[in-house]
Amino acid sequence: MTEQQTDLNKVLKQHLEMESFFAGDFSVRGGGQLFAEVPAETRPGQENSDMAQALEAIAKTVRSCRKCEIGSTRTNAVPGQGNPKTRLMFVGEAPGADEDQQGLAFVGRAGKLLTDIITAMGLTREEVFIGNILKCRPPGNRDPKLDEIDNCWPYLKQQLETIQPEIIVALGAHAARTLLDTKEAIGKLRGRFHEYKFSDDLPPAKLMPTYHPAYLLRNYSYDNRKRVWEDMMKVLKELDLPIPKKKG
Ligand code: URA
C-alpha cells in the first residue's frame, strides 16, 4: 500500500469513528425549543421577517465588499446562513476552498463534522445560524490578517445584533479571540461561558469557545472529541434543551 493510500485509509477511519462519537452513538430525545419568539420590547420594530430581510441586506453588502485583497481573490463571498430566529449561533474562522466555491459556510470536511456535532446535539443546521469572522477565503487557507478581521468585523457584528442569539459558540481560537477581544489560548478559554456584549442597552449573549472542527480533524483524539461534546452539552443545558443520551 502506498503512503498516500495509508493516509487516506487513516482519514477515512478517523472520520467514521468521529461520526459515531458525535452522531451514531447517541439517541436523541428531542422536544426542545430553539427558536425565540422575538420579544417586541427587546427588538423594537423587528419582526421575524424583518430579521431575515436585515440579514439578507448584510449578505448583499458582503457579496459586493472589496475592502481587502481577499475580496478580489475569492470566488464567492460567504456571508453565513441559517435561521434568523435562532437562539444559537456558531461562528468559525473563515471560508475554505469548498465554502469559497459554494458561497456557503462550513460545507467542506470541517463543515461535515460541524453538521455531525449539531446532529448529535439533537438539532439541525437549519435551526441554527452558522457564520464566520472573515467572509472571504484567505488564499491557501492561511490565518486571517488583523486588518482583514477589522474590515470584516462590522458584518458579523451586525449579524449578531440582528439575530441576538442567546448563545454563541466560537469555533476555534480566531473566533473566540475576536469575539472576546483577548489573546488567550483556546485551550484556556474553552469549556466555560464568557459574555458577548451586543451593546449597552441589550442583554449580553453567553459565549462558549470550543475547538474548531478542523482542529479536531487534525488532532484526532478521544479526549479532544470528548471536550467538544462536553462544551456542547453545557450549551444544551443553558438553552434548557434535552441532552441526547449515549446508547447502551
Ligand atoms: N472553516 C471555517 O472556519 N469556516 C468555514 O466556513 C469552513 C471552514
φ, ψ at 61 (rounded to 5°)? -65, -45
Rounded to an integer, the average pLDDT of 181-203 is 96
| Residue at 16 is within a domain | no
Ligand 1 lined by 81 (C-beta under 6 Å): no
Q: pLDDT, tens digit, for every residue of 19-73?
A: 666 765 544 444 556 776 544 444 545 667 899 999 999 999 999 999 999 999 9
**Domain count of the chain?**
1
| Residue at 41 is within a domain | no
What is the span of the domain harbouring residue 107? 46-238
Distance CA 172, CA 180 (A): 12
Rounded to an integer, the average pLDDT of 160-184 is 98
Residue 13 in this model has a pLDDT that exceeds 90: no
| Residue at 8 is within a domain | no
Residue 125 in this model has a pLDDT that exceeds 90: yes
Q: What percent of the chain has pLDDT over 90?
A: 75
Q: What is the best residue among 106, 129, 186 to mutate for testing ligand 1's pocket, by most ligand atoms within 8 Å of CB?
A: 106
Ligand 1 lined by 132 (C-beta under 6 Å): yes
| Residue at 119 is within a domain | yes
Of 132, 160, 26, 142, the residue nearest 73 (C-alpha): 142
| Residue at 176 is within a domain | yes
CATH of the domain at 167: 3.40.470.10
Distance CA 208, CA 168 (A): 6
| Residue at 179 is within a domain | yes
Of 102, 117, 83, the residue nearest 212 (C-alpha): 117
Rounded to an integer, the average pLDDT of 125-148 is 97
φ, ψ at 63 (rounded to 5°)? -65, -20
Distance CA 217, CA 211 (A): 10
| Residue at 27 is within a domain | no
pTM: 0.88
From the CA of 248, how far away is ligand 1's center (Å)?
Answer: 34
Q: What is the best residue among 99, 136, 149 to mutate for testing ligand 1's pocket, by most ligand atoms within 8 Å of CB?
A: 99
Confidence of residue 220 (pLDDT cuts 50, 70, 90): confident
| Residue at 221 is within a domain | yes
- Joined grid coordinates for residue 105: 459556510
